[in-house]
Chains A and B, each alone.
Chain A
Amino acid sequence: MRIVVAMSGGVDSSVAAALLAEQGHEVIGLSMQLYDHTGHAEAGGQRSFGSCCTLDDLHDARRVAASLNIPHYILNLERQFDEQVVSNFVREYAAGRTPLPCAHCNSDLKFTTLAERARGFGAEAVATGHYARVERDPATGRYLLKRGADPSKDQSYFLFSLTQDQLAHAMFPIGDRGKNAVREYARHRRLPVADKPDSQEICFIPDHDYAKFVTKRAPETDRQGTIVDEHGRVAGRHGGIHRFTIGQRKGLGLASPSPLYVLALRPAEQQVVVGPKSALERTTLTASDVNWIGGKPRTPQRVAAQIRHRHQAAPATVHATDGGSATVVFDAPQIAVTPGQAVVFYDEDIVVGGGWIG
């Protein structure tokens, strides 16, 4: 079978490609060039050599493809990435929400734009290096998305919005392996990236300074505002609500006898609301743009609901409501329910569905 592998230059997608090639598939490596940190320095201006990242990753992908003897191409998707992922990221922060760009990148870029290109090249499937599994349910004929076998690396949370059509053509060759096994295999196959460190959280902000990035892209977010407590009393000032996320404790610049946490962000008033940790607890949330992988349920469902990547999914009841929304009621209070993040519903290790926390 002709399969396109989305190769990032990291060890996971490299092993995904290697495994499929070993199984005898006709593998084509595609890498997405998504952003350019070099600016226009290539025109002969000053630049510090060896400081560039994204081109190095593309170069790594090419080296891996060469070592596997598979064709490899770079697709320039900078414009699409900017429109579909980066703009949304900036908008969300400006609106006092905490975005999840990797999930958008998966559903709106890898499994749409890249998948379409792959079809144009005659590929029957798109494989990625995600720690997740996709299976066909023999009873219903529908595709199931499941957690990766290694719970510490599972990435199904970032894939909840894949549709049946997308899952039907998706492959996650390393989903049944652990990270150690993946590295082991990479070393065994002598892949040039076998010992490359894992990638950072947000690929397009290598210095992790999200606030600086948002300010640069949307200068209007750089507005002073007040920090208030639960009762509306002013406790301090801040330099823009995009610098904060729900549950944040550090960097508030407040003197207080007991630790204070960010409870809420109010974009209209440019207010950051703070309070004690107990005030972060929530037992309900609503989700929008819910994707039901197994079909929309007619009755309330008992699920384990996960509200961020590093959250232990907690027992809850989810009610699908009209307009693609859902209400989630947790059995026990959860800390820091954060608008902009995803809530993903699991039945054991099967992703039932998920949506965006409102």
Chain B
Amino acid sequence: MRVYFDYNATTPLAPEAAEATARALRDQFGNASSVHHFGQQAKAAIDEARSAVAALLNADPSELVFTSGGTESDNFAIRGAAEALDPIGRRHLIAGAIEHEAVLNTLKALARRGWRTTLLPVDQSGIVSPDRLREIITDDTALVSVMHANNEIGTIQPVAELAAIAHERGALMHTDAVQSTGKIPVDVRALGVDLLSLSAHKFSGPKGAGALWIKRGTRLQPILTGGRHERSRRAGTENVPALVGLGVAARLAASKMSAEAARVGALRDRLEVRILRDVGGTAVNGTRSSRVPNTTNISFDRVEAESLLIALDLEGVAVSTGSACSSGTLEPSHVLRAMGFSAHRAQNSLRFSLGMFSTEEEVDRVASLLPSIVEKLRALTRKTASA
């Protein structure tokens, strides 16, 4: 039996989404921009998906631009806002210190081109402080970008409060909701943001589909130029099958969210409690009170997470050491470092993220495997240290 506890990296498709995507791949081959019947069919399929995603976000369908996924949406939001507000002299960008690389590296790229950038720090619980934003923000700030839920530790950020502060100073507010969409309610009006990114494959939809919600009236410069797709906001022939899958996943998420959140949350809590009880030297990273229900990030004292991850995989259990996008880098998690943890603790931490197909049996299997695996790795570490 293989156990997949890495839903924050990507999710298996919901059967309904897989079915709809496969059907569209077969039958909806038309180009949604074409005038004829085939084009109209494809266009209708995309519009249906747009309505479904809009309903999930309490948004208007016309405010949604489909993209290839979270990274493109984040790039679009940040680069688009930076360029649109450049002419009026707003050349300052702010992002949370624990943002995804899609945001952080986009900021770095813009910094090299002359934009001023500031990172908003987090406390040890993994939450950014609105008061700090008040200190950092200026009248030159173009955009504040703070994620809704963090991908590594799952903490939920006070986005609405941050958005209010940004708006007081005339800045735009973007939130990367890639890890919250489909897991907890995401209401663009309640969050009060101007821009919101999401990605289909993080909530049981297919890869290669995402969206940027752009509040009506927001000034944004397109980054992909070409044909007049997506109301001239994002050029490129639409990935119809993936967008159909996104729409189905959005509908499923909307209908099952509260029940699923409760079910998955109970599983996550069961896993967490058992690990903390049965494996010595463990601790949860980040607050346990305000996070998405599927995620826990746990540090294992005196064990390199890299080794633990491999040992677990050899037992058929898939977890991760943090963001899948930063695998292979030596740098300890920037999220845990920003929270003030030592590089050592950051390198001893594993993320377990559950989802739609997770079961109690799987939780119990992982929880019962861990003590002996950890003990074995610790014994080797001791031997090496004393040799």
User: Which residues in A have some Cβ–Cβ distance to B below 8 Å?
Assistant: 28, 33, 36, 42-45, 58, 71, 73-76, 78-79, 116-117, 119-122
Q: B313–A71 contact, CB under 8 A?
A: yes
> Would A71 and B377 be within 8 Å (CB), given that A43-B105, A78-B330, A116-B384 are in contact?
no
Closest 9 CB pairs of A and B: A44-B109, A44-B105, A120-B377, A73-B310, A43-B108, A120-B380, A43-B105, A76-B330, A78-B330
Inside 8 A of A79's CB, which chain B residues have their CB?
330
Other-chain contact of A44, B106, B306, B376, B383 (Cβ < 8 Å): B106
Inside 8 A of B314's CB, which chain A residues have their CB?
28, 71, 121-122
* Binary interface encoding of chain B residues 102-133 relative to chain A, with 1 for a CB under 8 A from any of its CBs, else 0: 00011011001000000000000000000000
Inside 8 A of B330's CB, which chain A residues have their CB?
33, 36, 76, 78-79
> Would A76 and B328 be within 8 Å (CB), given that A44-B105, A120-B380, A122-B314 are in contact?
yes
B289 at the interface (CB under 8 A from A): no
12 additional A-B pairs beyond A43-B108, A44-B108, A45-B108, beta carbons within 8 Å, are A33-B330, A43-B105, A44-B112, A74-B328, A76-B328, A78-B330, A116-B383, A116-B384, A120-B376, A121-B307, A121-B311, A122-B314
B329 at the interface (CB under 8 A from A): yes
Contact residues of B between 78 and 114, Cβ < 8 Å to A: 105-106, 108-109, 112
Contact residues of B between 188 and 211, Cβ < 8 Å to A: none
Inside 8 A of A36's CB, which chain B residues have their CB?
330
Inside 8 A of A42's CB, which chain B residues have their CB?
105
* Binary interface encoding of chain B residues 374-386 relative to chain A, with 1 for a CB under 8 A from any of its CBs, else 0: 0011001001100
Inside 8 A of A33's CB, which chain B residues have their CB?
328, 330
Task: State A117–B306 Cα separation when bound (angstroms).
Answer: 10
Q: Which of A74, A76, A120 has the most CB of B within 10 A?
A: A120
Q: A117–B106 contact, CB under 8 A?
A: no
Shortest distance in angstroms between A320's beta carbon and chain B's nearest beta carbon? 25
Q: A120–B384 contact, CB under 8 A?
A: no
Residue of chain B at shortest CB distance from A79: B330
Cβ contacts A to B, 11 pairs, < 8 Å: A28-B314, A33-B328, A36-B330, A58-B328, A75-B306, A76-B329, A79-B330, A120-B376, A121-B307, A121-B311, A122-B314
Q: B307–A117 contact, CB under 8 A?
A: yes
Task: State A45–B107 Cα separation when bound (angstroms).
Answer: 11
Other-chain contact of A76, B112, B306, B383 (Cβ < 8 Å): B306
* Binary interface encoding of chain B residues 343-380 relative to chain A, with 1 for a CB under 8 A from any of its CBs, else 0: 00000000000000000000000000000000011001
Other-chain contact of B311, A43, A44, A116, A120 (Cβ < 8 Å): A120
Contact residues of B between 292 and 324, Cβ < 8 Å to A: 306-307, 310-311, 313-314
Other-chain contact of A45, B106, B112, B376, B377 (Cβ < 8 Å): B112
Residue of chain B at shortest CB distance from A77: B330
Q: A116–B306 contact, CB under 8 A?
A: no
Task: State A121–B311 Cα separation when bound (angstroms).
Answer: 5
Inside 8 A of A116's CB, which chain B residues have their CB?
380, 383-384
Task: State A122–B376 Cα separation when bound (angstroms).
Answer: 9
> Would A121 and B310 be within 8 Å (CB), given that A44-B108, A44-B109 are in contact?
yes
Shortest distance in angstroms between B328's beta carbon and chain A's nearest beta carbon? 6
Q: B307–A120 contact, CB under 8 A?
A: yes
Inside 8 A of B313's CB, which chain A residues have their CB?
71, 73
Inside 8 A of B105's CB, which chain A residues have their CB?
42-44
Inside 8 A of B310's CB, which chain A residues have their CB?
73, 117, 121
Task: State A116–B105 Cα separation when bound (angstroms).
Answer: 35
Task: State A122–B311 Cα separation when bound (angstroms).
Answer: 8
Residue of chain B at shortest CB distance from A76: B330
Task: State A42–B105 Cα separation when bound (angstroms).
Answer: 8
Q: Which of B106, B311, B328 has the most CB of A within 10 A?
A: B328
Shortest distance in angstroms between B357's beta carbon and chain A's nearest beta carbon? 22
